[in-house]
A and B are shown apart, each in its own frame.
Chain A
Amino acid sequence: MAVIVTRNLTKRFGNLTAVNKLNLEIEEGEIFGLLGPNGAGKTTTLSMLATLLPPSDGDAIVNGFDVRKHASQVRHSIGFVFQDPSSDDLLTGRENLYLHALMYGVNMRNVNEKMDSVLRLVDLLDKQHVRMKYYSGGMRRRLELARGLLHEPKILFLDEPTLGLDPQTREHLWSYIKKLSAEKKVTIIVTTHYMEEADLLCDRLAIIDHGRVVAMDTPARLKKQLGGDQVKLKIRKPNIAALRKLKYVKNIKRRGDMLTLTVNESALHLQEILKRVGPVESVESRSPTLNDVFLHYTGKEIRESGEEGGYFERMLHSGNR
Chain B
Amino acid sequence: MGELNGLYALWYREFKVFLRERSRIISSLIQPIMWLVIFGTGLGASISLGGGLSGINYQAFIYPGILCMIVLFSSLFFGLYIIMDKRVDFLKEVLVAPLGRTTIFFGKVLGGATDGLIQVALLIALGAAFFSIPFTAYSLVMTIIVVMLLLISIVSLGLAIGALMSSPEGFGLITGFVIFPLFFLSGALFPTKSLPAWLGTFVALNPVSYAVDALRNVILGVSSTYGLAMDFAVLFGFALIMIIVGTWAFRRMKF
Mark B1-29 against chain A: 1 for CB-CB distance below 8 A, else 0. 11001101110110011001100000000
B80 to chain A, nearest CB (A): 9
Query: B88 contacts A84, CB within 8 Å?
Result: yes
**A315 contact set on B, CB distance < 8 A:** 88
**A314 contact set on B, CB distance < 8 A:** 87-88
Query: A88 contacts B87, CB within 8 Å?
Result: no
- Of A76, A82, A98, the residue contacting B98 (CB under 8 A) is A76
In the complex, whether A104 has a CB less than 8 A from a CB of chain B is yes
Q: Which residues of A contact B (CB under 8 A)?
A: 50-52, 72, 75-76, 78, 80, 82-88, 90-91, 95, 98-100, 102-105, 108, 131, 314-315, 317-321
**A90 contact set on B, CB distance < 8 A:** 16-17, 20-21
Closest residue of B by beta carbon distance from A82 = B89
Query: A86 contacts B13, CB within 8 Å?
Result: no
CA distance A104 to B84 in the complex (A): 22
A-B contact count (CB 8 A): 81
Q: Which of B213-255 contact A (CB under 8 A)?
A: 255
Query: A80 contacts B8, CB within 8 Å?
Result: no
CA distance A103 to B8 in the complex (A): 9
Mark B80-107 against chain A: 1 for CB-CB distance below 8 A, else 0. 0100110111101111111100000000
B13, B20, B90, B93: residue with the most chain A Cβ atoms closer than 10 Å: B93
Mark B40-64 against chain A: 1 for CB-CB distance below 8 A, else 0. 0000000000000000000000000
**A85 contact set on B, CB distance < 8 A:** 88-90
Could you list 18 A-B pairs, sorted by A, with CB under 8 Å? A52-B96, A76-B98, A82-B92, A85-B89, A86-B88, A86-B90, A86-B93, A87-B90, A98-B12, A99-B13, A100-B97, A103-B5, A103-B9, A103-B94, A104-B97, A131-B20, A317-B87, A318-B88
- Of A75, A84, A87, A91, the residue contacting B97 (CB under 8 A) is A75
**Those 4 A-B pairs whose CB atoms lie nearest each other, nearest first:** A102-B9, A82-B89, A86-B89, A103-B97
Query: A103 contacts B20, CB within 8 Å?
Result: no
Closest residue of A by beta carbon distance from B17 = A90
CA distance A75 to B94 in the complex (A): 11
15 extra A-B contacts, CB within 8 A, seeds A83-B89, A321-B85: A82-B89, A85-B89, A86-B88, A86-B89, A88-B13, A88-B17, A100-B93, A102-B8, A102-B12, A103-B6, A103-B94, A105-B2, A321-B17, A321-B81, A321-B84
Query: B5 contacts A52, CB within 8 Å?
Result: no
- Of B5, B10, B90, B96, the residue contacting A50 (CB under 8 A) is B96
A109 to chain B, nearest CB (A): 12
Query: B98 contacts A75, CB within 8 Å?
Result: yes
Query: A102 contacts B92, CB within 8 Å?
Result: no
B5, B13, B98: residue with the most chain A Cβ atoms closer than 10 Å: B98
Q: Which residues of B contact A (CB under 8 A)?
A: 1-2, 5-6, 8-10, 12-13, 16-17, 20-21, 81, 84-85, 87-90, 92-99, 255
Query: B17 contacts A319, CB within 8 Å?
Result: no
Query: A105 contacts B96, CB within 8 Å?
Result: no
**A82 contact set on B, CB distance < 8 A:** 89, 92-93
Query: A75 contacts B16, CB within 8 Å?
Result: no
B158 to chain A, nearest CB (A): 15
Query: B98 contacts A102, CB within 8 Å?
Result: no
CA distance A83 to B9 in the complex (A): 23
Query: B92 contacts A91, CB within 8 Å?
Result: no
**B96 contact set on A, CB distance < 8 A:** 50-52, 75, 78, 80
CA distance A78 to B96 in the complex (A): 9
Closest residue of A by beta carbon distance from B20 = A90
CA distance A72 to B3 in the complex (A): 12
CA distance A134 to B92 in the complex (A): 22
Q: Given contacts A88-B17, A90-B20, A105-B98, is CB(A80)–CB(B5) below 8 Å?
A: no
CA distance A320 to B84 in the complex (A): 9
CA distance A321 to B81 in the complex (A): 7
Query: B6 contacts A86, CB within 8 Å?
Result: no
B88, B90, B99: residue with the most chain A Cβ atoms closer than 10 Å: B88
